[in-house]
Structure 1
Amino acid sequence: MKIVVIGGSGHIGSFLVPRLVRGGHEVVNLSRGTSTPYTDSPEWQHVHQVTADRAREDREGTFGDRIADLSADVVVDLMCFTLDSATDLVNRLRGEVGHLLHCGSIWRYGASRKLPISEVSDSTAEPLDEYGIQKRDIARMLKEETADGGLVTTSLHPGHIVGPGWHPVGPLGNFDPAVWERVSAGQPLRIPGSGTELMHHVHADDLAQAFEKAIQRREAAAGEDFNIVAPSALTVRGYLEIAASWFGQEPNSEMVSWEDFRKTTTPEHADTSWAHLSRNHCISIEKAKALLGYAPRYEPEEAVHESVGWLIENNRLLVDSPMRA
């Protein structure tokens, strides 16, 4: 098939595009052309590159035409963040494309009420921010579109994406590199809350696997939404213990209030920690396993270990102790 991947040079596409090429598909990567993929795979030599500024073309009302003109069998949209943008694309591709797949987010779920969180449960409150609201509304629109006999669509909703080339969500629920420096040195770390708050990661290649399987199983995926995460979630306390062991250290932590935690870091890092930990997410993947055959290879700590190891090896993260394999 001919598959167009919108935003294929990013975290997900860096793993998805090579998978699709290996699967024998003709692949078009549409991006701004300002970055290179995170993986240097030989399959990229067989990918047709198209440069586009989606934000500008959405404003001008031409983006849907650009995608339709590529005459794809399948479109994978990894870079859509508003209901208006998603709706415009659906309206233009209706009757033109066999399958549209959208990348959502587990932040379509608000704070947890009961765990694990499934696609059809009342396990969470409403989304906590505009990003989550938009992702929830896009998923609902896509389901209604397919249920009404329109475009065949599927939405996949990843957790905190992890992979070589970028910083993972760390043990405190933020991206502060100083956290890893302190963990590697065995220095004390202040933890906000109870330490039992949950984060649910997913390796970018496992997410790419899910997209590939949804393309392969179009009939099963049609009109459906899927949670895509690792087989298990990490608590703050458990994450810290595991991470400390990578550097031959014992966890050294102190539980503090959120008010006291904010005094020890920047507003940006504190807000990011609150955004991740207050949701307290543990997500079910039973639907994706049953309908798509989704089989994640990485436990969350394995995915994070690979990511942190890459950062250290490439001098993107400074630590005081060597990292164990």
Structure 2
Amino acid sequence: MRILVTGGAGYVGSFVVRRLLTEGHEVTVVDSLVNSLRPTAPDIRFHHVDVRDRTTLCDVITASRPEAVVHCAGLKSVGQSVELPWLYYDVNVAGTLNVLAAARAAETEHFVFSSSCSVYGSPQISPVGEDAPTLPQSPYASTKLAAEHAIEACAAAQDMTAVHLRYFNAAGASADGSHGELVTRYNTQILPLACMAALGAGPPLRVFGKDYPTRDGTAVRDYVHVEDLARAHVAALGAGGRRPTGTFNLGRGEGTSIGELLAALEHIAGQKIPVVEAPRRKGDPVQTWADTFAAEEGLKWTAQLDLADIVQSAWRWHSSPNGRLTAVG
């Protein structure tokens, strides 16, 4: 299948591209390289394009005529979105509209969107199903939900099928330690920051709140391996003429507290992680994890890698020169 991946040089997008190439698909990547590095795989058709550049984007997509688009491009820092909401709406919403316009011109048949569990805000009940109220509590989350709405409307108008993948906390790296998440100045993901703190390559880790009504007082999240997320994107493309549609939550379907995550990392690293306790952040949910029934039924997908796989692969990556020295953005 001819597939175009926006943001295909980014964290999740690059793993999606690797998986697609492994399965024999013809892959074109567009990426602005704002917070990523240029892909080097010889089988990738790469175009250095910002999704806000509608004219160039349309030229690239119509020339490649993809049967499907996997839209991973976007900014993802909650904190930065509060500081620069106009930038987030420009990239994540206007950029998505540009991708949709180009897909229409190219007569693309299927659209897969990398969305986020942040659209649920602070859910009162876990596990969180796809029918839970959407109450975004940051500009970032609002842009993800707005993009979903735009995709739904445009897909219906142009006879294109669409899938929204709302993933929970993406984490981990390749098993061989050769590929993982870059640490940028806007990175707020706890596992990369914890690894850098343990390595002495970053400041002590700030843990926001140790007084939650949870088993150890720290917030509970659903960490899902990026390799599993890549498999889900491929599953969302369909096979044998069957194309899934709709919205799917992606997670391991179980909660892990911040304390448990750090304990697992300390066990693997063989050392204590320097931690600084900080007050709770406004809008942070107490605990949240995914109800994965819809993904199991509609995508025939379940997460295969566990917390130990996630933590061990992240530690191996960040302990390598590439994982420590490729800070960009």
CA contact (8 A) 2:197 2:273 kept: no
Instruction: Note if 1:309 corresponds to 2:316.
Output: yes
In the alignment, what sits opposite 2:247?
A: 225
The match for 2:44 is: 47
Whole-angstrom CA distance in 2 between matches of 1:281 and 1:200: 7
User: Which one is further off, 300-309 or 67-76?
Assistant: 300-309
Structure 1 pair 131–160 and aligned structure 2 pair: CA distance change class (3 A): same
Query: Contact 1:230 / 1:300 at 8 angstroms: preserved in 2?
Result: no
Q: Does 1:180 align with 2:198?
A: yes
Per-residue Cα deviation, 1:136-157 (whole angstroms, up to 9, x for no partner):
1222332344455632211112
Number of the residue aligned with 1:64: 58
- Structure 1, unaligned runs of 5 or more: 263-272, 318-325
- Distance in structure 2 (CA, Å) of the matches to 1:178 and 1:286: 35
Residues 249 and 221 (structure 1), Cα distance of their counterparts in 2 relative to 1, 3 Å cut: same
Give yes or no for contact 1:227–1:285 (8 Å, CA) kept in 2: yes
How do residues 163-178 of structure 1 correspond to structure 2 at under 5 angstroms?
A: 163-164=172-173, 165-166=180-181, 169-170=189-190, 175=193
Corresponding residue for residue 88 of structure 2? none
Which of residues 193, 204, 207 in structure 1 aligns to 2:211?
A: 193
CA distance in 1, matches of 2:221, 2:14: 23
> Within 1, Cα distance between the matches of 2:165 and 2:151?
11
Q: Which moved more, 1:274-283 or 1:85-94?
A: 274-283
> How do 1:242-321 residues align onto structure 2 when only pairs under 5 Å count?
242-248=264-270, 261-262=278-279, 274=281, 277-278=284-285, 280-314=287-321
Q: Per the alignment, do residues 288 and 130 of structure 1 end up closer, same or farther by CA in structure 2, a change over 3 Å counting?
A: same
Say which SS state the counterpart of residue 245 (structure 1) adopts: helix
Contact 2:30 2:48 in 1 (8 A): yes
Q: Counterpart in 2 of 1:7? A: 7
- Would the aligned equivalents of 2:166 and 2:247 in 1 still touch at CA under 8 Å? yes
**Residue correspondence of structure 1 range 130-169 to structure 2 within 5 A:** 130-147=139-156, 150-164=159-173, 165-166=180-181, 169=189
Contact 2:51 2:57 in 1 (8 A): yes
2-side partners of 1:175 and 1:253: how far apart? 11
Q: CA deviation at 1:87?
A: 2.7
The root-mean-square deviation of aligned C-alpha atoms, in Å, is 3.4
Report the structure number with the largest CA radius of gyration.
Answer: 1
Does 2:231 correspond to 1:209?
A: yes
Measure, in 2, the Cα distance between the counterparts of 1:143 and 1:114.
26
Q: 1:181 to 1:22 in 2, by over 3 A?
A: closer
Corresponding position of 1:323? none
**Residue 209 of structure 1: CA displacement?**
0.3
Identify the match of residue 98 of structure 1 among 100, 104, 109: 109
8 Å Cα contact 1:119/1:227 also seen in 2: yes
Distance (Å, rounded) in 2 between the aligned partners of 1:252 and 1:63: 44
**TM-score when normalising by structure 1:** 0.75
Gaps of 5+ in 2: 75-90, 174-179, 325-329
SS in 1 for 2:112: strand
SS at match of 1:278: coil
Q: Counterpart of 2:11 in 1: which secondary structure?
A: coil
| TM-score, normalization by structure 2 | 0.74
Verify the 8 A CA contact 1:30 1:50 in the aligned structure 2. yes
CA offset at residue 253 of structure 1?
A: 8.6
CA 1:88/1:50 → structure 2, altered by over 3 Å: closer, same or farther? closer
- Between Structure 1 and Structure 2, how many residues are aligned? 286
The answer as to whether partners of 1:199 and 1:277 remain within 8 angstroms in 2 is no
